[in-house]
Amino acid sequence: MSDRHPTLLHRWFDEVWNQNLTDKIDEMMYETTLHNGLTGPGGPPVSGIANFKEFHKSFREAFPDIQVTVHDVITEGDKMACRYTVTGTQRGPLSELEPSHVKVEFTGGGICKLEGGKFVEVWNQIDFSKMLYDIQTGTPEPQ
C-alpha cells in the first residue's frame, strides 16, 4: 500500500474514520459488502455502501472527534485481522441516547475478507458495552 497505510485496514481507519473522507468508502468496499457486528448483539449486518454510509454518518454525528488507533494487523491469504482502540466524545445522539459530552475509549477488532483490493465481508468485535459504560458513568466535558 504505502508507508502511511501499510494495509487496507490502516487506510480504512485513517481515511474513513479519522479523516471522515466518506468518498473513500466507495474505493474500499463493494455494493455487496457485509459488515457484521455493527448493529449490536444479534443485529443484522450492515449491507452495502449506502447502508454503511448511513451507519458511518450517524456514528460520526454522535462522535465527531472520533479517532481510531490501529495496534495490530495480521494478514493471511485473503483475510486480514486487526486490533484497535477508539476514542471520541459523544456530542450527538446515539440511538436513543441524548448527547452526554462524555469522552469514551473502547477497543475493537475484527476479521476482513478481501477480494480485488476491497472488503467483501467484515466480522467486527467491538466493545460497545464499554462505550455505553463510559457514556453512562463518565464526567461530561465543559460545553
Burial classification of residue 116, based on how many CB atoms lie within 10 Å of its CB (0-12 exposed, 13-18 middle, 19 or more buried): exposed
**Across the chain, which distance is largest between two alpha carbons, in Å?**
48
Q: How far apart are CA 114 and CA 117, in angstroms?
A: 6
Residue 88: Cβ within 10 Å count: 22
Which candidate, 21, 28, 55, 20, places its Cα nearest to that of 126? 55
Strands (E), 4-78: 29-36, 46-47, 67-76
Residues with pLDDT less than 50, the chain: none
- The ranges assigned to domains in the chain are 8-137
How do strand 67-76 and strand 46-47 relate by DSSP bridges?
unpaired
Spatial contact of 36 and 121, defined as CB atoms under 8 Å apart:
yes
Q: What is the pLDDT of residue 2?
A: 62
What grid cell was written down for 52?
Answer: 454503511
Q: What is the pLDDT of residue 40?
A: 76
Fold of 8-137: Nuclear Transport Factor 2; Chain: A, (3.10.450)
Q: What is the pLDDT of residue 16?
A: 98
Q: What is the pLDDT of residue 4?
A: 83
Q: What is the pLDDT of residue 1?
A: 60
